[in-house]
Chain A
């Protein structure tokens, strides 16, 4: 009923825990970019930015494309879709349960009221 990969999710959320990496992802949300362009707005070396990119790549949040010496990065939506799918499955599960819970509570209350009437 509920299936998701917790291993991938751990890496995804680990990768998202850093503000620089979140900014990089926000840049990539605008479209594919090469590493040097990605590094420009950050006050850090190319090497430091590259390290962050590797973390994002390992988490499966970005995809690297090599064109000779130029490396381009693009956003990978799969982990986020997985998170969405997790929520959707549990939403269906709990909504079904809450409907039944509510119905059953009302039945109990009706029974109680009838017993009270009988007693009087």
Chain B
């Protein structure tokens, strides 16, 4: 059951999603990070399937998740783990492979972004907080967020109009 899915304002060009999960922290972390489990759940759209998942879960380790759409097109996400603190926190870079159809790491688009996933212990439950930022480091994400947030405040109106 979906408990809640709260969207925080995206003014700082960072996406933040939270979910309350009916599962303990350790299980949630394991299912998020193990290649076998990822194949079972990483389906962003109906009909999409994970054809291959590689997870080298350690700081500096790489991952590669190859997804295939029903029309045969591949969407392959790759990146490097920056922080691995089981069972509570994960930080990794995110990029897409240009082609993505191979079985080995391929050429990336080079538009690296940053994903942070936090698993907060809520007893029987776990609160998941996912942050996806367009900036490839925590520092640049936070620096840019300051300017961006202010500017979008005053511009929200003019952007909507167009």
Contacts and interface: CB of A to CB of B under 8 A. Distances in A.
Q: Bin the interface of chain A by size.
A: 35 or more
Interface stretch (A34-42, A47-55, A65-73, A87-95): A87-95
Interface of A: 1-2, 4, 6, 9, 13, 16-17, 22, 25-26, 29, 75, 77, 80-81, 83-84, 86-87, 90-106, 108-109
B31 A104 contact: yes
Interface of B: 1-2, 5, 7, 10, 13-15, 17, 19, 21-23, 27-28, 31-32, 37, 40-45, 75, 96, 110-111, 128, 130, 132, 134, 143-144, 147-148, 150-152, 154-155, 157-159, 161-162
Q: Is the interface of A mostly helix, strand, loop or mixed?
A: helix
Q: Is the interface of B mostly helix, strand, loop or mixed?
A: mixed
A107 B85 CA distance: 25
B10 to A, nearest CB: 5
A90 B144 contact: no
Contacts of B157: 29
A98 B128 contact: yes
Contacts of B154: 25-26, 29
Contacts of B148: 13, 16, 83
- For A17, A77, A102, the residue with the greatest tally of chain B CB atoms inside 10 Å of its CB is A102
13 contacts: A16-B148, A25-B151, A26-B151, A26-B154, A80-B155, A91-B7, A92-B44, A94-B15, A97-B41, A100-B42, A104-B31, A105-B22, A109-B27
